[in-house]
Amino acid sequence: MIPSSQAEIARFHAALAAMPQDERPDIDTDMLSQILDAAGRLADEVLAPLDPVADRLGCRIENGRVLTPQGYGAAWQAMAEGGWLGLDQPEEFGGSGLPVTLKAMTTALFDRAGLALGMACGATASASVLLAEHAPRDVASDWIPALLLGERAATICISELEAGSDLGRMRSRATPEGDQWRVTGTKQWISFGDHDLAPRIGHCLLARTGDAPGTRGLSLFLVPSHLEDGTPNNITLVGIEEKLGLHGSPTCALSFDGSKAVLLGNAERGLPQLFTMITMMRLQVACQGLAAAARATDIAEAYAADRRQGGAPTEPPVRIETHPDVRRQLDIMRSRTEGLRAVVLQLAACLDRARVDPEAAALAQFLLPLAKAIGSETGFDVAHAGIQVLGGAGYTRDWPMEQTLRDIRVAAIYEGTTGMQALDFTERRLMREPAGYEAFLRRATGPLATAFSDLVDQVRTAAPDRRQAAADAVLRAGWLAVAEWLAPRLPEDARYCLDDATDLFALHASRARRAL
């Protein structure tokens, strides 16, 4: 019921070819085709058939452990054995050392087939990036190869019941014990916090080690679910959430009671260090938005080409894709999907060049909150539009559109809500660390970029509380300026929404100025 990945692969090839030559990842064209074709086969043959089954069965707890849906274990092994968990990881740890851009494309292909299992894959791969940069050498050498082989898995443990997104109020505490640490506290909203895909799970966890207020007293730890000899590490599964979507992804609450932990990086620098992992996970969310949008658009286009209704009563019914209003809806869906694809590839390409090009690194940080926030909303909005195209059929479980809508809804919440991304974009990327914004202005010369620059000048003179009130509108205006910049890379039939960009920009700019 989900169309083959082949057309989606062709769109990635076209989008990559439309990028400036000096910004494309350094990868042989034949190798690119082979990798994307292999990813497409795995998505079509293994992940897509499993997705509705996992949605229906969900996860359950038996004897204090989470059991994932039937078939997940084999799919996890297929992801690991194919090298997909370590595609962009260093070869010294067993990875393939390929570009992040390629990883983003394959992630979107896999998540188009099914978002839920990708939650485990994304966290494990992102944790590998974190450990490579901040773990002691012996810990990195022990954990990363095992993660990439699927022999272990990883999570990110941040949220607490009383703190939520207000990390400065976090209560979990780590205390030293000789050359080790022990962590005590309860964490929640942990995707795949417990499961049966791997015998050992490494929790990348923030806990308080000092008396400094706010986030300054937080340190970063690796807390294994089990010790090297297989002994449980005093971690209790409190429960799993009953959720709107992502039923195949167990969202857990875990209690840590003096659990042994390894300090990562420097004490009381936990949050800045954790952003190594968060950056990769926010890129993953943008890929999830693209995946949901692409899936919904592909389904809607296929349905509209096959479904016949209306037309002259004396003639056979016509394909509904020929009705002007249906055509309008399909054009908007495709336009928004391809616009997001261009942003995702640009962001990933900047991350590829970040280590050797400071300007690319800064531009990536400018694009990241935009791609995460608007990318996640685009996935939901396009799925919503897809249900409308299918009509009553789209509202039923006979078609995967309603599951797509349910699964992608949370993407605008986790890894930092849209409101948090707007504050980060306005306060940090435009005010405190504007190098990425300035790099954007050097590349974008269209009228919306100029108008956005004028708006930013007003934002910078406003009081902090006024800036925060305007942040959502500023974020959305920034997205439209970026969309205008990347528009020449889109295929002609995917530029439908650009006609409305100027009017939408004026609306968001007006909202921002009223708040300022």
Confirm if 198 and 221 have CB atoms less than 8 A apart.
no
The arithmetic mean of pLDDT across residues 357-370, rounded, is 97
Task: Give the tens place of pLDDT for each residue, 216-263.
Answer: 889 999 999 999 999 999 999 999 999 999 999 999 999 999 999 999
The overall average pLDDT reported for the chain is 95
Integer distance in angstroms from the first to the last C-alpha of the chain? 48
The arithmetic mean of pLDDT across residues 396-403, rounded, is 95
- How far is 463 from 338, CA to CA, in rounded Å? 37
Same domain for 169 and 110? no
Same domain for 139 and 206? no
- How far is 286 from 464, CA to CA, in rounded Å? 28
- How far is 383 from 292, CA to CA, in rounded Å? 7
3-state secondary structure of 166: coil
Residues 6+ apart with CB under 8 A from 230: 199
The arithmetic mean of pLDDT across residues 172-187, rounded, is 93
Domain termination residue (choose one: 268, 293, 315): 268
What's residue 496's pLDDT?
73
Same domain for 416 and 347? yes
Query: Is 1 a member of any domain?
Result: no
What's residue 368's pLDDT?
98
Query: Is 467 a member of any domain?
Result: yes
Task: Give the tens place of pLDDT for each residue, 304-350.
Answer: 999 999 888 888 988 989 999 999 999 999 999 999 999 999 999 99
Does the structure show a pLDDT above 90 at 167?
Answer: no
pTM assigned to the model = 0.96
Query: What share of the chain in percent tops pLDDT 90?
Result: 89
- How far is 374 from 333, CA to CA, in rounded Å? 14
- For residue 59, what pLDDT band results from cuts at 50, 70 and 90? very high
Read off the tokens for 469. 């009130």
What's residue 495's pLDDT?
78
Tally the domains of the chain.
3
Same domain for 277 and 402? yes
What's residue 218's pLDDT?
93
Read off the tokens for 348. 């990933």
- How far is 108 from 130, CA to CA, in rounded Å? 21
Write out the residue range of the structural domain in which residue 455 sits.
Answer: 272-515
CATH code for the domain of 72: 1.10.540.10
- For residue 139, what pLDDT band results from cuts at 50, 70 and 90? very high
* CA 387 to chain CA centroid, nearest Å: 23
Same domain for 310 and 260? no
Buried b (16+ CB within 10 A) or exposed e, 357-385: eebbbbbbbbbbbbbbbbbbbbbbbbbbb
From the candidates 133, 415, 427, 492, which is the catalytic residue?
A: 415
Is position 415 annotated as part of the catalytic site? yes
What's residue 8's pLDDT?
97
Residues 6+ apart with CB under 8 A from 352: 25, 99, 100, 101, 360
- For residue 27, what pLDDT band results from cuts at 50, 70 and 90? confident
Task: Give the tens place of pLDDT for each residue, 255-304.
Answer: 999 999 999 999 999 999 999 999 999 999 999 999 999 999 999 999 99
The arithmetic mean of pLDDT across residues 434-457, rounded, is 97
